[in-house]
């Protein structure tokens, strides 16, 4: 006996009507002047807060207002192109929303959409706030390029994590055309695997985990806003004393970004003795670029697989540390700080883990064995630190702009100790500067003791010891202050 399903029967008499035109926008903070969409308000003016539902777009693109006088319909006149797919999803699922808008001569300008529940019912995507998550992500994305309307999408977010298949599916449906092409195609294939019952549960679990990792990263373009060189210099001076040549090289990099609006072709390799502030410089550059940063300690890596991830054929497979860095940063543009590049070892005989970084440094994309997808790296700015450049391979060295940091002179160490290290420690433990007095002869004695040490870490430890001794004298022996002599310094520190 034949069974007929009339749900998919097309009605030639009722063709879908699209009432709106789209406009390109990258506005991240909508307002009545820069709205998400415009509704027709020629028949009547709408309330500032209005409730209702978007109609199913297979019929007509409009909004049904639920008012005290009844239900009224208004056509959508214009819409931000980023929200077209989301609008369709809202209409198809008949989700109750509250609009915030303002009546203008050209229409009712909507600048905020909130999901609500009617009659005590639950929201379709409730509990986890999926709609608000999607709106925030779309506002953070750039205007999509013109493509076929049935394309699917993706963007990233902050408060919510996409973990369930339903949220991942909805996210791809609503956010379309903002993903890099290869990642969008990869996501579709993995979503098919995650839903399939023809593969093992282990394969489905790995596919869903990989999707969750990739969907929670905001894939940005590689356009960088101009940076104020004066502010950049202030940050460098705040973090680092002296080192004028190093600061000049970093400011030159900033000027290059301001001209090209892209990152330089080469990252920075900071080489110098321990304690000279290499890591501080790296963190300062991340602050200047206003990018999230993630650090990697190469001295703890003894197998390349730790960086590249393991294949999904293993039940305990997982992504590599590089992919974890993207995941923790939450976006594709980041400063990647590689500490102790010269201390990478090949403990298991599988090669030098540092060589895995070559593709990352080339900005041609990086492939993680677990995800099996090429990750765009054009927005990654690598900064590496090392003590001995002779321990770094030539191919790695050639991919960095090398900056060698000299050790501090005695005069520079004096200033750093008296103007920065000691005052910082005194403030931390609650001492006043006039309670711990170090005359010039005592300061010279400190420099004499540490004349053969590199960097300033030993000086910082000396300041800690001196401050602690001062506090002890004040609290136990009830003195008002301590003035150190050269002999006292020698007995205390040697």
Percent of residues, the chain, with pLDDT higher than 90: 24
Round to whole Å and give the CA distance between 206 and 197. Answer: 14
Q: What pLDDT is attached to residue 12?
A: 46
Q: What is the CATH number of domain 410-493?
A: 1.10.8.60
Those residues whose C-beta lies under 8 Å from the C-beta of residue 68, and which sit 6 or more positions away, are: none
**Those residues with Cβ within 8 angstroms of residue 485's Cβ, 6 or more apart along the chain or in another chain:** 439, 441, 442
Residue 350 has pLDDT above 70, yes or no: no
pLDDT at 118 over 80: no
Dihedral sign computed on CA atoms, order 189, 195, 200, 205: positive
Closest CA to 320 of 378, 370, 250, 270: 370
pLDDT tens per residue across span 57-89: 888 899 999 888 888 999 999 999 999 988 888
Choices 3.90.1150.10, 3.40.50.720, 3.20.20.140, 3.40.50.300: CATH for 229-404: 3.40.50.300
Which candidate, 425, 459, 424, places its Cα nearest to that of 443? Answer: 459
Query: At 46, phi and psi to the nearest 5?
Result: -100, 155
The closest of 127, 206, 159 to 368, measured between CA atoms, is 206
Q: What is the mean pLDDT of residues 397-414?
A: 87
Q: Please, are residues 326 and 292 in contact by the beta-carbon 8 Å criterion?
A: no
Tell me the pairing of strands 37-39 and 49-54: unpaired
Beta strands at 107-115 and 97-104: parallel, antiparallel or unpaired: antiparallel
Domain boundaries defined on the chain: 21-124, 136-215, 229-404, 410-493
What is the pTM for the complete model shown? 0.64
pLDDT of residue 161: 67
Distance, CA of 57 to CA of 55 (rounded, Å): 6
Unique residue bearing structure tokens 């379709």: 124
């Amino acid at each position: 006996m034949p069974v007929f399903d009339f749900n998919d029967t097309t009605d030639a008499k009722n063709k879908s009507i699209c009432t709106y035109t789209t406009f390109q926008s990258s506005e991240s903070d909508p307002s009545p002047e820069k709205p998400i969409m415009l509704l027709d308000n020629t028949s009547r003016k709408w309330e500032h807060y209005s409730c209702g539902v978007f109609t199913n777009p297979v019929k007509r693109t409009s909004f049904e207002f639920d008012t005290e006088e009844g239900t009224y319909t208004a056509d959508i006149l214009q819409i931000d192109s980023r929200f077209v797919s989301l609008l369709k999803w809202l209409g198809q699922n008949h989700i109750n929303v509250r609009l915030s808008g303002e009546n203008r001569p050209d229409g009712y300008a909507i600048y905020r959409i909130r999901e609500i529940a009617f009659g005590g019912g639950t929201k379709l995507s409730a509990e986890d706030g999926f709609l608000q998550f999607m709106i925030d992500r779309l506002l953070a994305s750039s205007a999509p390029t013109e493509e076929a309307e049935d394309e699917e999408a993706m963007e990233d977010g902050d408060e919510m994590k996409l973990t369930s298949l339903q949220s991942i599916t909805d996210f791809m449906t609503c956010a379309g055309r903002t993903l890099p092409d290869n990642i969008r195609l990869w996501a579709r294939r993995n979503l098919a695997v995650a839903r399939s019952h023809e593969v093992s549960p282990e394969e489905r679990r790995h596919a869903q985990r990989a999707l969750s990792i990739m969907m929670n990263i905001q894939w940005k373009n590689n356009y960088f806003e101009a940076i104020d060189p004066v502010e950049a210099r202030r940050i460098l001076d705040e973090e680092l004393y002296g080192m004028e040549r190093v600061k000049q090289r970093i400011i030159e990099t900033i000027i290059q970004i301001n001209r090209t609006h892209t990152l330089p072709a080469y990252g920075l390799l900071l080489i110098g003795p321990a304690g000279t502030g290499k890591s501080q410089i790296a963190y300062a550059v991340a602050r200047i670029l206003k990018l999230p940063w993630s650090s990697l300690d190469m001295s703890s890596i003894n197998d390349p697989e730790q960086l590249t991830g393991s294949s999904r054929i293993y039940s305990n497979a997982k992504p590599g540390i590089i992919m974890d860095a993207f995941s923790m940063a939450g976006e594709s543009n980041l400063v990647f700080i590689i500490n102790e590049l010269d201390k990478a070892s090949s403990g298991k005989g599988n090669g030098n883990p540092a060589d895995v970084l070559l593709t990352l440094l080339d900005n041609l994309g990086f492939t993680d064995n677990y995800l099996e997808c090429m990750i765009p790296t054009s927005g990654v700015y690598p900064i590496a630190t090392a003590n001995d450049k002779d321990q770094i391979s030539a191919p790695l060295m050639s991919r960095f702009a090398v900056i060698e940091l000299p050790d501090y002179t005695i005069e520079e160490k004096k200033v750093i100790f008296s103007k920065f290290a000691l005052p910082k420690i005194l403030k931390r433990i609650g001492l006043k500067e006039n309670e711990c007095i170090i005359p010039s002869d005592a300061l010279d004695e400190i420099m004499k003791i540490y004349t053969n040490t590199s960097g300033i870490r030993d000086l910082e430890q000396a300041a800690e010891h001196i401050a602690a001794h001062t506090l002890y004298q004040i609290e136990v022996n009830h003195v008002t202050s301590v003035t150190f002599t050269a002999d006292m310094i020698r007995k205390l520190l040697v």
